[in-house]
Every structure is written in C-alpha cells, then in structure tokens.
A and B are shown apart, each in its own frame.
Chain A
C-alpha cells in the first residue's frame, strides 16, 4: 500500500511538472505572439493614418494659400479612409475649426509641440472611450496647424479578442500538458507496480517470486537487479534455514545414542542406588527436553525454509484432543467439553501438526500454570476453536503476543523458571496454526476465574476462504 501511495505521489508530481511547464511555455508564446501582433497591427494602422494625414494636410496647405477659405467646408470634404477626424488651428491659440472635435480632444503636449516647433508630430493616448492616435503639423506659409485624431477602439477590440484566444490556447495547452504528464507518469510507473507486487510477494514469504523479463533496455536492468536481489535473499534465507536444519540433524545422532543408553539404564533401575536413579531421572528428563527442542527447531526451520507442506486429512477434533491427552499420559486428568449443537466437528487439517499444537499447549500449561484444567471445543460453520484452560497466574496483557515468539522469556517464564524458558513450543503452535490459516491467542478465563485460556481457531476447510 505504501509503495502504491508513493507511486501516486510521484505520478502527481510528474503531472504537475508537465502542467507547469506547459503553462509557462504557452504563456510565453502567447505573450510574444500578442506583443508582435499588437505592434504590427498598430504600426499598420498608424502608417495608414499618417498617409491619410499627409494627403489631407497637403490639401489643407494648398487651400490655406488663398485668403478666403471656408475651413469648415474644407474639412468636411476631406476623405477619411483611415477613420480620422480633422481639426484645424488657425494660427491663434483659441481659434479652432472642426466639424466634430474640440481642442480638448487633443493632448496638450501635442498641441504645444506642433505649435511651438512646427514639426509634424504624432502621439498615442488613452481617453475613457479607448485608445486614440493624434497627428498634427504646422502648415507653412499660412501658419495653420492641421490635426487629425484617429480612434483606435476597433484595433483595441481586435487585440483583446486575440488576447482572449491566446489565453484560451494557453489553458488548453496547460491541460494537455497535464494530461500528457499523467499518461507518461502512468506509463513510466507501470513497471514499478509489478516491482511493488513482487516485493510484497517476497516479503510475504514467496521467496521464489521473480520479475518477468522486459524488452525495454532501461527496464531490463531494473528487472535484472531486482531478480538478483531476490535470488540473493532467497539463497541467504535458505542457507540460514538449512543451517538450522543441518544442526538439528547432526544433533539427532548423539541423541539416538543417549536415548538408547538411557533406556538400557532404565531397565536396570533396580540395580541402581537411589542417588544414581535420581541422576538418571534428571538425565532422562533433560534428554527428553533436548530432543523436543531439536525437533521443534527442525520443524520451525522447515517452516522458515518454506518447505513445510500440509498433509491434510479429515480430523475429528474431539478424537485428536483425546488422543493427545491419552498418548501424553494426561488421560482423564481434565474434562474435555464440547459445545452443544456442534456435533463431532471434523476439520481438514494436518494431523501431525495439530497434534503438536495441542500437545505444546498442554506442555505449556504444565510448565507455567500447574497443568491443564479443562479443554473446551466450540465453533461455527466455518471454524472450530479449541480452548486450553489453566488456573495458573494468567498472562498479563502486555505479554500476550510475546509468548508466541521464539525463545520468549517474559516475566511468566522467569517467574516459573525451572531453568526452562519458553523454548519454541508456543512459537511452533503459532506457526502450525498459521499454516492452517487459523489463529491462536491468549485470553482471560470467563467470569474472572484465575488462569489463562489459550484459544486456537482453525478453519474447517483451510484455503477456502
């Protein structure tokens, strides 16, 4: 899950990077496009206006040579192809003639410039209606100043629609870039989903998981190194497990000699002195314990190596518990209660392992709680539970997980001591139950009775969930 989440975040990052990149590039292009277009359009407009102005100015100049000119009529007769409006200053500051304008329509700086220097000048300026262009010149020899004002609203409108179009394009480009980023992110990360699944499988114990070879050279390397890592890990775990298994096998030979020799001594017990018999008992008990430890170690290393296969068969839980009690010399020492309406529950299980589970729980009760006081078998349609109860000191909440760890030595073990420690018994219980797809836990006994209750819950049909 974590890997997946990280993948999503990376994908988001890629998407955002692409979106930002797309946005910046498109905004830049739009700005340049707008600037260039604006200059070109305005230049053209200005040039056209200037042309018209010069033509008209020449007409006015010619007319101004004669004495009697009706400037009002003259101005109205002038062609205004570029949309200009004329106004004339008759050489005196206050004498202006125009069919549509007043001097206030002209920028003062332009008026001053034209009248004082006599140069032709033009100026672009803004009024509340929109942008305007004014051109003016003093006409010699009459001293009349001719001005034209061109409204640039139409140009501004054109430029505004261009800006809107460009902004729209920028937005679309940004979205497209984001989409592309998303797609690329997904494409690039897709192989990683496989890697993540494989890593999870390995972590889950399927050590032979490998990635499939890819044709892409970039991925081939990743696949190769991942598979190398998985192989190294597998070898290492196998070597560890094999070592534990080899050690156990090696220990079996001396144990064989010990057991056979102890049996020979046992059959001559009557010939031994009391002290020697006590020593023999000690020897036998510890050889038994040693053997149990070796067996458990072997069993658990087999589980670790993934070599534990369940030999499933139909097992009557009641018969099994009874058989464990009988064959471990606990016959009739405690009641085995079966919940009503349960019948004789039969489950699909590995009999040998289940035997160890129950036997180890019995051993545990003997070691730490003065023995089993009762077994309760319960269940439902899907699973059967076996609860092994004792009247020992119970197990504190904090240690209820710990007791199932290997060689765990909680306060329980220390208090009860006996030199034994918890060994592997309960750890093996947990492993066996897990192999069956079941659960095991410790709880308090009902109605605040003293003692602990180890509960094993086994599915009736392992592997069919």
Chain B
C-alpha cells in the first residue's frame, strides 16, 4: 500500500504541478483546494502526511492544522510564501512538524516527508524503558507515560523526546537535534527545535514555564534532566 499525501493548496496550477511531481516520486496524492474541503477529505480518508499551504481562502492553513491536530498526530508540513518568523512560528505552534518555503523543489519535499515518516531510531543496545521521575519513555512501544498515564505525543515530539532520552543529562545542540529528528544536514531552522520543545513541555511538564524534564542549556541547546 502506497503512502498517501494530502495537499491542500488553493492555486490550481501549483497543486497540479506538485501532484505530478510527487507522483513521480512514488507517492499517492490527494488534493483539496480549501481548508474546509481539506478537513472533510482528511476525515473521510486519513492521509499519511498532510501538506498545507498557509494562505488559503476561508479557513486558513493555521486553522486547518489545529483542526487536524485535535484528532490526529499525522505529520504535517506547512508551505509558506513568507519565511518571516511570524508565519513560521505560528505554523509550528499550530502543530506543523516542518515547513517549506515556496518555491521548493518537490525532491526536497519528498526528502522532508521521508524524514517525517521514518520510525524512531532504535539504538543497537535497545533501551527498553527510560524512567525519569514521573516520566516513563518506552521507545519500542512508542509510548510515553506520566504518573502512569499515557501521554499523547505527535510522531515528531516523540522522536524528539526519545532522542533526548537516549542520553539523559547530555546536552544536544539544535543542529544535532535537527539532524537526528528532522534529517537536516547542516542548514536546519533552529526555530523548529525551539517550538517543538515548547510543545513537548506543555505535555510532559507539570509547569511548562519552569521545566524540570526538558531543560534549556543557555547558548548550547537542550537536555533531558536525569
């Protein structure tokens, strides 16, 4: 069974060109021309990855992203014509896993999709379960528990947490995390890490403003407090 990608884009020409290019890469592509139809299509036939243009008439990309996030942790890639901090951060805050700026090469999009779909790397040593105070990370089962209660994380949040948990106490730089979690080589956007850490904190921390688990190391990066 092929991987289904839902592209939500109001410009028909872009939609068509991107669809053909993605199909050449071997993906199955569904199309929607507005936020509303995108939402409807997604609830009828859930996709494996959703590609959302931010500037849509009616329900905009941010809103669609939030709506999908309410029911699903499917990887979402935002497409923006502006790489202003505001749009990028707002898109990530709305729940997107990654973003691309128009015009992007479809090959680059395919690479991003593959990185998002990649399973959590399981280390050769097979860390079974990592316990950190009230937090319990089980990479094998893909489960995180807090006080015994199962938490709902997106795939990317989970990958990020597992990466940090692979070496509790070790400081991971943004570049490091971008490479390991998102598959960027040298030029990833550090904001991806920052926003995802923020989102992760709202789920795993008792008080996200004063994190005890995912700690910022000023000027260096992040670490998981052992």
Binding site for B on A (CB under 8 A): 249, 252-261, 263-264, 267, 291, 307, 309, 311, 313-314, 319, 323, 327, 351-352, 355
Q: Which residues of B contact A309 (CB under 8 A)?
A: 85
The chain B residue with its CB closest to the CB of A313 is: B190
Q: 7 tightest A-B contacts by CB? A: A260-B17, A256-B103, A255-B103, A323-B186, A252-B102, A260-B21, A257-B13
Pairwise interchain contact B102-A263, C-beta atoms closer than 8 A: no
Q: Mark B1-38, 1 if CB is under 8 A from A, else 0.
A: 00000000001011001101100100000000000000
Pairwise interchain contact A259-B104, C-beta atoms closer than 8 A: yes
B5 to chain A, nearest CB (A): 14
Q: Which residues of A contact B84 (CB under 8 A)?
A: 307
Q: Which residues of A contact B174 (CB under 8 A)?
A: 313
A317 to chain B, nearest CB (A): 13
A-B contact pairs, 7 of them (CB 8 A): A252-B103, A254-B13, A255-B103, A260-B14, A261-B17, A263-B21, A307-B84
Q: Which residues of A contact B186 (CB under 8 A)?
A: 319, 323, 327
Pairwise interchain contact A327-B185, C-beta atoms closer than 8 A: yes
B191 to chain A, nearest CB (A): 8
Pairwise interchain contact A256-B85, C-beta atoms closer than 8 A: no
Which of B21, B103, B104, B219 has a CB less than 8 Å from the CB of A314?
A: B219
CA distance A264 to B186 in the complex (A): 27
The chain B residue with its CB closest to the CB of A309 is: B85
Interface centre among A249, A264, A351, A352 (most CB of B within 10 A): A264
Q: Which residues of A contact B17 (CB under 8 A)?
A: 256-257, 260-261, 264
CA distance A256 to B109 in the complex (A): 12
Which of A253, A258, A260 has a CB less than 8 Å from the CB of B20?
A: A260
Pairwise interchain contact B103-A258, C-beta atoms closer than 8 A: yes
The chain B residue with its CB closest to the CB of A290 is: B103
B17 to chain A, nearest CB (A): 4
CA distance A261 to B21 in the complex (A): 7
CA distance A351 to B81 in the complex (A): 21
CB contact list, B162-195 vs A, under 8 A:
174, 185-187, 190
Q: Is B106 an interface residue (CB 8 A)?
A: yes
A4 to chain B, nearest CB (A): 39
A15 to chain B, nearest CB (A): 54
Q: Which residues of A contact B219 (CB under 8 A)?
A: 314
Pairwise interchain contact B82-A256, C-beta atoms closer than 8 A: no
Binding site for A on B (CB under 8 A): 11, 13-14, 17-18, 20-21, 24, 81-82, 84-85, 101-107, 174, 185-187, 190, 219
Q: Which residues of A contact B21 (CB under 8 A)?
A: 260-261, 263-264
CA distance A260 to B106 in the complex (A): 6
Besides A253-B102, A255-B103, A260-B18, 8 more A-B contacts (Cβ < 8 Å) are: A249-B81, A257-B14, A259-B106, A260-B20, A263-B106, A264-B24, A291-B103, A323-B187
The chain B residue with its CB closest to the CB of A302 is: B84
CA distance A260 to B174 in the complex (A): 30
Interface centre among B24, B103, B106 (most CB of A within 10 A): B103
The chain A residue with its CB closest to the CB of B25 is: A267
Contact A253 to B11, CB < 8 A, known contacts A264-B24, A291-B103 = yes
Q: Which residues of A contact B187 (CB under 8 A)?
A: 323, 327, 351-352, 355
CA distance A264 to B20 in the complex (A): 7
CA distance A291 to B81 in the complex (A): 13
Interface centre among B84, B102, B105, B107 (most CB of A within 10 A): B102
CA distance A257 to B19 in the complex (A): 11
CA distance A355 to B189 in the complex (A): 13
The chain A residue with its CB closest to the CB of B85 is: A309
B123 to chain A, nearest CB (A): 26
A92 to chain B, nearest CB (A): 124
Pairwise interchain contact B107-A253, C-beta atoms closer than 8 A: no
Pairwise interchain contact A253-B190, C-beta atoms closer than 8 A: no
Q: Which residues of B contact A260 (CB under 8 A)?
A: 14, 17-18, 20-21, 103, 106
Contact A249 to B82, CB < 8 A, known contacts A255-B103, A267-B24, A352-B187 = yes
Q: Which residues of B contact A352 (CB under 8 A)?
A: 187
B11 to chain A, nearest CB (A): 6
Which of A256, A263, A267 has a CB less than 8 Å from the CB of B14?
A: A256
Pairwise interchain contact B105-A259, C-beta atoms closer than 8 A: yes
CA distance A99 to B14 in the complex (A): 135
Q: Which residues of B contact A263 (CB under 8 A)?
A: 21, 24, 105-107
Q: Which residues of B contact A351 (CB under 8 A)?
A: 187
Which of B24, B102, B190 has a CB less than 8 Å from the CB of A256?
A: B102
Which of B81, B85, B185 has a CB less than 8 Å from the CB of A253?
A: B81
A26 to chain B, nearest CB (A): 69
CA distance A98 to B130 in the complex (A): 141
CA distance A355 to B188 in the complex (A): 12
Pairwise interchain contact A255-B190, C-beta atoms closer than 8 A: no
Q: Which residues of A contact B190 (CB under 8 A)?
A: 311, 313
A382 to chain B, nearest CB (A): 20
CA distance A267 to B107 in the complex (A): 11
Q: Which residues of A contact B106 (CB under 8 A)?
A: 259-260, 263
Interface centre among B81, B84, B101, B107 (most CB of A within 10 A): B81
The chain A residue with its CB closest to the CB of B9 is: A256
CA distance A386 to B186 in the complex (A): 19
Q: Which residues of A contact B14 (CB under 8 A)?
A: 253, 256-257, 260
The chain B residue with its CB closest to the CB of A287 is: B103
A262 to chain B, nearest CB (A): 9
The chain B residue with its CB closest to the CB of A259 is: B103
Interface centre among A252, A256, A259, A263 (most CB of B within 10 A): A256
Pairwise interchain contact B185-A255, C-beta atoms closer than 8 A: no
